[in-house]
């Protein structure tokens, strides 16, 4: 009888050991899966607008004095392609563009160019193009939110914009444009209705210099 009890005890211990091993393996696999998923996304960070960043900010992200000078002299960059042309071929663009970018116009950018956005591959570049024309940034959030979580959609918004129709866009849509202060949003609204872009240049030109006016003009349009 005593021998039987000892055998049962050893069997129970063995079973406990097997269960523990299975749980450890399962936890390890789960951790690996989460790690892999995390590595597939680019960590969220502040993305500077190459048209607006100060010299100090450009220095902080590691740009050389020579490149900073080129950035300051050549902006505003009308498209990201213009900025990209200034970046030396031997520089790690994937890493650089996590920190600085010129937002893409969602309705006019070539599908292949979207892949300049860190973490955007063939599939996502196709989805960006697939839902054109975008009438608002809210539409972009809704459509692309089918494929990635809210945090990733928010990260993408550092890299893209939807141009707005000056006379009909909501205040929220205007606020979503890259690099607009609350004061400038107010001025955009203040001068409605705009008969043409000449009126836009005349009125908004009271508050910004010619270079900034050119930058702002690419963010808007007027339906005739």
pLDDT at 224: 78
In this predicted model, what pLDDT tens digit does every residue of 4-63 receive, in sequence order?
Answer: 444 444 444 444 444 444 544 444 444 443 333 333 455 556 899 999 999 999 999 999
Which CATH number is correct for 164-221, 3.40.50, 3.10.20, 2.40.30, 1.10.150?
Answer: 1.10.150
Mean pLDDT, to the nearest integer, of 168-196? 96
In this predicted model, what pLDDT tens digit does every residue of 90-140 receive, in sequence order?
Answer: 999 999 999 999 999 999 999 999 999 999 999 999 999 999 999 999 999
User: For the domain bounded by 44-102, which CATH number is listed?
Assistant: 1.10.150
pLDDT at 42: 53
Residue 5 has φ and ψ, to the nearest 5°, of -65, -40
pTM (predicted TM-score):
0.78
Distance CA 185, CA 182 (A): 5
How many angstroms separate the most distant Cα atoms in the chain? 102
**Looking at beta carbons, which pairs linking 196-205 to residues 24 or more positions away fall under 8 Å?**
196/222, 196/224, 197/221, 197/222, 200/166
């Amino acid at each position: 009888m005593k021998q039987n009890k000892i055998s049962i005890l050893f069997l129970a211990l063995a079973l406990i050991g097997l269960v523990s091993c299975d749980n450890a393996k399962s936890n390890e696999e789960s951790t690996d899966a989460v790690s892999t998923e995390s590595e597939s996304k680019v960590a969220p960070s502040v993305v500077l607008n190459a048209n607006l960043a100060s010299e100090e900010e450009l220095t902080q992200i590691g740009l050389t004095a020579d490149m900073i000078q080129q950035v300051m002299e050549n902006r505003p960059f009308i498209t990201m392609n213009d900025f990209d042309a200034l970046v030396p071929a031997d520089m790690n663009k994937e890493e650089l563009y996590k920190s600085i970018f010129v937002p893409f116009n969602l309705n006019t950018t070539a599908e292949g160019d979207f892949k300049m956005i860190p973490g955007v591959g063939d599939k996502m570049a196709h989805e960006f193009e697939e839902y054109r024309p975008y009438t608002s940034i809210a539409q972009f959030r809704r459509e692309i939110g089918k494929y990635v979580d809210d945090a990733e959609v928010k990260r993408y918004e550092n890299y893209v914009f939807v141009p707005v129709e000056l006379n009909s866009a909501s205040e929220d849509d205007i606020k979503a444009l890259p690099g607009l202060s609350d004061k400038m949003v107010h001025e955009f609204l203040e001068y409605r209705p705009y008969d043409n872009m000449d009126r836009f240049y005349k009125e908004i030109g009271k508050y910004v210099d010619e270079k900034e006016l050119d930058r702002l003009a690419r963010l808007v349009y007027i339906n005739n």
